[in-house]
Homo-oligomer: A and B are copies of this chain.
Amino acid sequence: MSTLYPCSQCSLETFCSSDTSFKAAVKERHLNKKEILHRASDKFSSFYVIKQGGLKTYEIDSNGHELIQSFYLKNEVYGYEAIYTGHYLFWAITLSETIVCEIPYQQFLELLHAKPALLDRTLYLISQQITAGTYLKFTTAQQKLAAFILDLAARLWSQHYMLPMTYQDIGSYLGLATETVSRIFSSFQRKKMIHIDKKYVYFLNIEKLRQIASGFE
Binding site for B on A (CB under 8 A): 61-63, 67, 69, 80-84, 89, 109, 112-113, 116, 119-120, 123-132, 134, 136-139, 173-175, 214-216
Contacts and interface: CB of A to CB of B under 8 A. Distances in A.
Nearest to A176: B139
A128 B116 CA distance: 22
Contact of A83 (B83, B89, B123, B214): B123
Contacts of A81: 127, 130-131
Contact of A113 (B62, B113, B127): B113
A14 B119 CA distance: 21
Q: How many protomers of this protein does the assembly include?
A: 2
A56 to B, nearest CB: 13
Contacts of A215: 61-63
Contacts of A137: 67, 136, 173-175
Nearest to A67: B137
A45 to B, nearest CB: 14
6 smallest CB-CB distances across A and B, nearest first, come from: A83-B127, A84-B127, A81-B130, A84-B128, A137-B175, A84-B124
